Amino acid sequence: MEQDRSSQSRPPHVLVFPLPLQGHINSMIKLAELLAIAGFKLTFLNSHHNHERLVKFNNIAAHSERYPGFQFKTITDGLPLNHPRSGSWFLDMFEDTMELKMKESLREVLVNSSPPVDCIIGDGFLGFALDVAKELGIPIIFFRTSSPCCFWVYHSIPDIIQAGELPINGSEDMDRLITTVPGMETYLRCRDLPTFCRKLDIEDSSMKLVVKQTRKSLQADALILNTAEELDGPILSQIRTKCPRVYAVGPLHAQLNTRLNAKHGESYDHFSNTLWEVDKSCIFWLNKQPNRSVIYVSFGSITSTSREQLVELWYGLLNSKTKFLLVVRPNSVIGKDGEGEDVVMELMEKSKDRGYIVNWAPQEAVLNHPAIGGFFTHNGWNSTLESIVAGVPMICWPQFADQHVNSRVVSEVWKIGLDMKDVCDSKIVEKMVNDVMVDRKEEFAKSASEMAKVTNQCVNVGGSSYSNLDCLIEDIRIMSLKTHKK
């Protein structure tokens, strides 16, 4: 269908297309909202399944009122309706037939879009969006929602293999330094690489997929990263040697808060993008606790724990000198025949005086609550950034994807937490919680609050991320004028 690109007076129309996972939606929707504040028309492309949950647990009418030019559209995630979509289900999306279904649906949305889409901001994990964009002559910018450090490690994997530093020999010292990732020579160890690098097989399909998607991200017109120059400067310089147009505009949740405050004043309601029902009762519980006395424990939206791991964590927390707020998502404890759910009920009963357990928390509000003194986290990139912005030190228990690299940077480069990677032992949990919350409390509180100060400055007027977002907005305007003229 011939698209009408003649009108030059209308605002640019941007389509934002995330991988259909909570962690990806969170940061991409925030970017979309920031572009809507700049006056752009926005189409946010959700999967049918996620949109149903977004509508169920959020006030979509209030969202439309706040962002009049913002519309949601939905497409398939490629999976059959009865697919359980739990555990590591998302890997199924990368099978060729699923990808083909999503690719066709994306094409259809773009071809039928009115006004025409002037620019696509695609999730860097959905490389096929580049092929569709090229075919239709629409500029595309990729957004990688994971950390820049991990993006750089993914990119470097072929070089690490070439240098003979991979595969890791099963019996060797996991603390061996990896020296072939430029900028990380002094701190990246075997155990900090993404978990698929632990396999002996360098032809592993997950590894190949990630490398392929990462290299493809660099073929887009530009790359957006959810970080700030002050946080990841040295690695951003490395990435810019491969892709000159990199916009570091994060942390996006903080940048959105800054711009919403400026527009509506402090009193605006926070809009959440949650795909689970939020249990706000934990805020009332936190209100009754002394300042910086509670550790918040949560492992994001995908990670599962075994029954044994949860019990170790719980004993460590219980034996420590501190209170805890623990998130256990429904169906996230792996055990036989409902054993997982039983253990949660049992722990809830036994921890009444020392802790509070919820299925899903309002995480940003929790981390900014004065009662919180530490975050026991899996180091998903959103969680890591949310903790940094709130000035909360971390205990890191990484599980997959970018999390092993992130925890190394948190503990070794930024020195705002401890890394509990590769172990789950109640004694170690207890020791680390006591270190962060009691014995070394002031040391960690100081480093975390300094980091928070620097990071929050980046998203204020004149800060690096604030200016980079202004550049991105201007560049999309220019791009869309060129597209109109075609």
Number of residues near ligand UDX (by CB under 6 A):
26
| Least distance (Å) between residue 139 CB and ligand UDX | 25
Please give the residues from 335 up to 364 whose contact with ligand UDX meets the rule CB under 6 A: 360-361, 363-364
Counting contacts by CB under 6 A, is residue 382 touching ligand UDX? yes
269 is catalytic: no
**Mapped to the 3 state alphabet, what secondary structure does the chain carry?**
CCCCCCCCCCCCEEEEECCCCHHHHHHHHHHHHHHHHCCCEEEEEEEHHHHHHHHHHCCHHHHHHHCCCEEEEEECCCCCCCCCCCCCHHHHHHCHHHHHHHHHHHHHHHHCCCCCCCEEEEECCCCHHHHHHHHHCCCEEEEECCCHHHHHHHHHHHHHHHCCCCCCCCCCCCCCECCCCCCCCCCCEHHHCCHHHHCCCCCCHHHHHHHHHHHHHCCCCEEEECCCHHHHHHHHHHHHCCCCCEEECCCHHHHHHHHHHHHHCCCCCCCCCCCCCCCCHHHHHHHCCCCCCEEEEECCCCCCEEHHHHHHHHHHHHHCCCEEEEECCCCCEECCCCHHHHHHHHHHHHCCCCEEEECCCCHHHHHCCCCEEEEEECCCHHHHHHHHHHCCCEEECCCCCCHHHHHHHHHHHCCCEEECCCCCCHHHHHHHHHHHHHHCHHHHHHHHHHHHHHHHHHCCCCCHHHHHHHHHHHHHHHHHHHHHHC
| Least distance (Å) between residue 300 CB and ligand UDX | 3
| Least distance (Å) between residue 278 CB and ligand UDX | 7
> Looking at beta carbons only, is 24 or 323 nearer to ligand UDX?
24
Show the site string, 361-380: x = touches ligand UDX by CB under 6 A, - = not: x-xx---------------x
Catalytic residue among 24, 51, 63, 484: 24
Counting contacts by CB under 6 A, is residue 50 touching ligand UDX? no
Stretch that binds ligand UDX, among 38-46, 51-59, 103-111, 296-304 (CB under 6 A): 296-304
| Least distance (Å) between residue 304 CB and ligand UDX | 11
| Least distance (Å) between residue 273 CB and ligand UDX | 8
Stretch that binds ligand UDX, among 96-104, 134-142, 188-196, 301-309 (CB under 6 A): 301-309
Counting contacts by CB under 6 A, is residue 124 touching ligand UDX? no
| Least distance (Å) between residue 105 CB and ligand UDX | 22
Show the site string, 397-436: x = touches ligand UDX by CB under 6 A, - = not: ----xxx---------------------------------
Stretch that binds ligand UDX, among 5-13, 83-91, 294-302, 347-355 (CB under 6 A): 294-302
Counting contacts by CB under 6 A, is residue 301 touching ligand UDX? yes
Counting contacts by CB under 6 A, is residue 381 touching ligand UDX? yes
123 is catalytic: yes
* Binding site residues, ligand UDX, CB under 6 A: 21-24, 26, 145-146, 274, 298, 300-303, 327, 360-361, 363-364, 380-383, 386, 401-403
Catalytic site positions: 24, 123
